[in-house]
Structure 1
Amino acid sequence: MKQVIRNMIADYLKPADSEGFVLMGTGFNTLDESPNAQTDEKTYINQASSSTSIKGYKPEFSFDSDFIEDEAAIADLYAIGRNRLTGEDAQREYVRVELFKTKDTKGYPARKFTVSVEVSDLATGDGGEVTNVSGTLHQIGEFIEGFFDTQTKAFTAANAG
């Protein structure tokens, strides 16, 4: 029985001022995926109990990080909250990589998302504590299945030749 440990899932963000993806690693305490299934519940006249169907999803990724200025992903998230960015200025590309799966010539299986970044807290804390940046990455539209090369930090869509 092989368990999947958190370090077997890697997360990458493309900051606004960057050409490529950067690892969301050092400084991040949590980065959790919530599919948030949207349901439709009905009780028909011949039933005593209701039936529930899944009609869609409203995915989001909540994050909590210590503000380490030279970590590009955290600095970018901080800037979004600090500068109160909105609309397209608060959108980023985000990739979640499944390192626990078999790597092929294109890289590890991955999903690429466009996300809207909600920074909910820039907590400065008590004296001597590290500033905290936390919030949620909200998925926009559908994700793209593909592969991510952790060396070149390049994403290739699964349907790309």
Structure 2
Amino acid sequence: MYLYIWHIKACLDSKTIKRVIYTYSDGALCFNEESPDIVDENWWSDTNFIKKLKPSGVFYCISKTLTENEALNFAQKNNLDLVCVNHAWVFGPFVTPQCPILVLRHMTKAFKFPRLSSKKLLDDGFKYKYDLGDMYDGAIASCK
């Protein structure tokens, strides 16, 4: 966690960086026993719930939750414009082997995995270039 804050502090100390864009993980906001159907940037994973659930990558989800929360707190305390962007699930050509289906099946039986909201992006005028079908077509084509 210290390393991330060190990078953000370096941006603050530079006096020339006007905005920091931080790419964060759905692991920091989807793992919560009380999750609604759709979550946005106001929702956080519960690290105690993650420990009980024991998903693949449990330490990754916990560290992302703690680090991203700390990054936002640091930015707010230091009046730094920090924007977090969640890439959610990435589909397309594969660079690394994918996680086993059994891990996902175990996780989805243990709790209801929420969807991530795009409302804020859409309200700001963002337009999607590709749809879900295009993303799956690219993923399947890369597997062939």
TM-score of the aligned structures, taking structure 1 as reference length: 0.27
Query: Greater Rg, structure 1 or structure 2?
Result: 1
Higher helix share: 2
Of structures 1 and 2, the one with the larger relative CO (CA 8 A, separation 6+) is 2
- Report the TM-score when normalising by structure 2: 0.29
